[in-house]
């Protein structure tokens, strides 16, 4: 292991701060690296000696309490080179994941109570929404809740503006619900509005592009790359649905030096947040709640409820209010599941400790 700062890794977001963290976690013979691709169980890592296909050290897999403690695209890691011959690309073994500064997380798809890290150490989350028949402001609200919790800056991109005669109305609608989050109207395929993204595309900044299948994420990244590197497919005209042309998460260097993480379209985006944190995405509702008669008003049956009055008078869209209740209920259910899981894990750990103590207790 060398303590010398590896300037060659700076193009992939490495900095003196990350180097200090690496030196604290380094093991003998290790190098710093960044995960740039998750490929069917194998990870591609950019290191000071080039790109490597990396596997996980047994100790890392064994010590990880949750799947989220294992490396994801965007993570900075401690890697040891594996000296194998006969391979076109070098091999490596990941021993540690450096502590993340930001991460976009969601509840893993399915019924298991598991958290999934979609992208790590990102500076800006681009929520990409297509303005075709798949347009949904409610989906944007859901993405923004998780984007805010990631710790990264959130930006909404309303793509395919050339396919919607009411694009300006959609822009006004999403701007109203997004609060202080910037919203931009673009059309990636004909390169309309892309100049508005320039302030975010600074060298070494890490950007994550998130959205449903068919929103145009890969087309947008191709335009920013200046070449057709990501496979794309046309969506069906009848319902604007598209296939998941991106099947794995990976990071690209854009022409200006920014780093873009493309992600597969998400059929379901389940929240991994607590009920009280939902409010951050509904500042208008929280402002109204301050005028309710009761401080602990649930806005459901209490008298003199300012929120319900706003809905009844048309000042607050009933659809937005209903979605707020839905998300709050979903977050409450997830929080309960997490609590049960924590109790069960603690119970199992206590049993394991008790068995170990009994096994090693001196015999009388």
pLDDT of the residue at 261:
93
Q: What is the pLDDT of residues 35-45, one digit of tens each?
A: 999 877 789 99
Neighbours of 345 (CB within 10 A): 12
Question: Which residue's structure tokens are 């700062």?
Answer: 5
Q: CA–CA separation, 189 vs 215, rounded Å?
A: 11
Q: What is the pLDDT of residues 75-102, one digit of tens each?
A: 999 999 887 655 567 889 999 999 999 9
Q: CA–CA separation, 227 vs 221, rounded Å?
A: 9
Dihedral of the alpha carbons of 74, 42, 223, 202, in degrees to the nearest 10: 20
pLDDT of the residue at 77:
96
> Do 254 and 206 meet the contact criterion of CB atoms below 8 Å apart?
no
Lowest mean pLDDT among 63-72, 123-132, 161-170: 63-72
Q: What is the pLDDT of residues 260-316, one digit of tens each?
A: 998 875 555 666 566 666 767 788 888 888 889 888 888 888 888 998 899 899 888
Q: What is the pLDDT of residues 106-163, one digit of tens each?
A: 766 655 656 788 899 999 999 999 998 778 888 898 888 888 888 999 999 999 999 8
pLDDT of the residue at 85:
58
pLDDT of the residue at 232:
47
Residue 244 has pLDDT above 80, yes or no: no
Q: Are strands 183-185 and 153-159 parallel, antiparallel or unpaired?
A: parallel
Residue 234 has pLDDT above 60, yes or no: no
């Amino acid at each position: 292991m060398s303590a010398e700062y590896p300037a060659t890794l700076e193009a992939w977001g490495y900095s003196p701060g990350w180097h200090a963290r690496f030196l604290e976690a380094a093991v003998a013979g290790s190098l710093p690296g960044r995960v740039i691709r998750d490929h069917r169980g194998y990870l591609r890592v950019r290191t000071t000696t080039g790109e490597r296909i990396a596997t996980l050290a047994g100790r890392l897999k064994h010590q990880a309490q949750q799947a989220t403690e294992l490396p994801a695209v965007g993570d900075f890691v401690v890697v040891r080179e594996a000296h194998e011959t006969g391979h076109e690309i070098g091999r490596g073994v990941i021993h540690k994941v450096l502590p993340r500064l930001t991460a976009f997380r969601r509840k893993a798809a399915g019924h298991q109570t598991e958290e999934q890290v979609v992208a790590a150490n990102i500076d800006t989350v681009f929520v990409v929404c297509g303005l075709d028949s798949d347009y949904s402001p409610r989906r944007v609200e859901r993405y923004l809740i998780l984007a805010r919790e990631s710790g990264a800056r959130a930006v909404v991109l309303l793509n395919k503006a050339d396919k919607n005669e009411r694009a300006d109305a959609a822009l006004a609608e999403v701007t109203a619900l997004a609060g202080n989050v910037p919203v931009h109207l673009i059309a990636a395929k004909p390169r309309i509005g892309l100049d508005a993204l320039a302030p975010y595309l600074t060298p070494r900044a890490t950007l994550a592009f998130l959205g449903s299948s068919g929103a145009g994420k890969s087309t947008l990244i191709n335009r920013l790359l200046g070449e057709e590197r990501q496979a794309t497919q046309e969506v069906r005209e009848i319902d604007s649905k598209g296939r998941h042309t991106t099947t794995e998460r990976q990071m690209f260097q854009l022409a200006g030096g920014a780093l873009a993480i493309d992600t597969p379209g998400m059929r379901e985006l389940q929240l991994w947040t607590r009920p009280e944190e939902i409010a951050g995405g509904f500042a208008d509702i929280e402002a109204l709640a301050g005028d309710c008669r009761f401080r602990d008003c649930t806005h459901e049956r209490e008298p003199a409820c300012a929120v319900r009055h706003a809905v009844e008078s048309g000042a607050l869209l009933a659809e937005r209010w209903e979605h707020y209740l839905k998300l709050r209920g979903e977050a409450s259910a997830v929080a309960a599941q997490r609590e049960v899981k924590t109790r069960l894990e603690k119970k199992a750990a206590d049993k394991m400790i008790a068995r170990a103590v009994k096994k090693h207790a001196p015999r009388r």
